Amino acid sequence: MKRVIANAFLLIAFETVYLMLSPVSRGEASAESMFRANLERTGVYKTQSIQRLRGVKWKFKTERIIEAWFSSPAVSGDTVYFGSDDSYLYALNALTGELKWKFKTGDVVYSSPAIADGIVYVGSHDSYLYAVDAQTGDERWKFKTGNRVYSSPAVSGGVVYFGSADTHLYAVDTATGKLLWKFKAESWILSSPALSDGAIYFGCWDSYLYAVDVATGHEKWRFKTGYRILSSPAVVEGTVFFGSMDGIFYAVDTKSGAEQWRFKTSERIRSSPAIQKKTVYFGGDDGQFHALDAATGQEKWRVKTGGPIISSPSIAIGIAYFGSADSHLYAVDIETGKRKWKFNAPFGWMRSSPAVANGMIYFGSDDGSFYALH
């Protein structure tokens, strides 16, 4: 019994020290919050995990659901931001779920917001990228593209980068909303860009993964897959990881664009990967959640769910959180693949990718509700 108590105190002490040393801890968010937690899109949140689910802390009902809820939340300070099929960008109190403000765009918002220097950036199906004041919800500027903006923006060095279904990747000045450069691909860009070491990586419906110079917008290389790419890439230690709708998960060298390895699944891959401790995690339309060795592509374990996994996993202190079309949000131990718990949202696909902050997990569901679990 004494040993059990001692171990419990050690676990608590570890989490406390981890959170104190981490740039993002409970009750505190980074100055820049975005889809997949960082510019490299690794999906790792340096915050407290939820070992045991207590239940719903709060939930917020949006005005309506038209097709499906894809926008994923971003948390900054005491506010959680997300888009919805009802055409609004929402800002809620992250602790209570109370509405702070909502901003109306001209169409569905599938893009996930990014917050930097007090501004929220988000795309809409109305073809605009919006810059909105994070405190007031007032529009700062908007930038028009030629088609829907599914892609979730990445913000770095006073520039916001995002793709559009008009086939272009854009670099726009965050202060003025003026175009700095644009890069033309061969089809829709729904994938959200990842930034690392002076390059920007993104997938396209023309089946290519592109690497583009951040400063100039010039192509560095492109890598061909067998079909469309919806999955957003993640970059770690010289390798870019991503899935394709050809059912294959790829690891590609960031400098040369050469393939390092591939892993074949039985269905499309629309989920974006998370990477931690030299392991890459992702889901597939076959309902399987995979853990692969990042160096070799060797499978470590897999977890079967009851429906396609479009939601992208988020990791916090040893647990991966992801949604499935079986209406459940799952929490899985990243070392063993053992399920810690699952949460059911009746009548709702879980396509939104969860964000972890403030001792809670935030996500949207096709039931029209936005949830905070604790």
The candidate with the shortest Cα–Cα distance to 80, out of 36, 29, 41, 17, is: 29
Q: Is 165 helix (H, G, I), strand (E, B) or coil?
A: coil
- State percent of the chain over pLDDT 70: 89
Q: At a CB cut-off of 8 Å and minimum separation 6, what does 168 contact? A: 145, 146, 182, 183, 184, 185, 189
CB 199 within 8 A of CB 233: no
Residue-range domains of the chain with CATH: 22-373 (2.130.10.10)
CA atoms of 292 and 281, how far apart (whole Å):
7
- Residue type at 182 in one-letter notation: K
The 8-class DSSP code of residue 16 comes to: H
Top pLDDT among 8 and 107 is at: 107
Q: What is the pTM of this model?
A: 0.89
Residue 4, phi then psi, degrees to nearest 5: -60, -45
Please, what sign has the CA dihedral across residues 264, 267, 270, 276?
negative
Residue 39, phi then psi, degrees to nearest 5: -65, -30
Per-residue pLDDT for 152 more than 70? yes
CB 93 within 8 A of CB 106: no
- Token pair of 137, please? 């919800």
CA-CA distances (angstroms) from residue 279 to 36, 100, 247, 327? 16, 38, 19, 26
Task: Give the tens place of pLDDT for each residue, 32-88.
Answer: 487 777 888 888 888 878 888 999 999 999 876 545 557 889 999 899 999 998 999
CB 115 within 8 A of CB 153: no
The 8-class DSSP code of residue 288 comes to: E
In the Cβ-directed half-sphere of 24, how many Cα atoms lie within 13 Å? 24
What's the confidence (pLDDT) of residue 185? Answer: 97
What's the confidence (pLDDT) of residue 348? Answer: 65
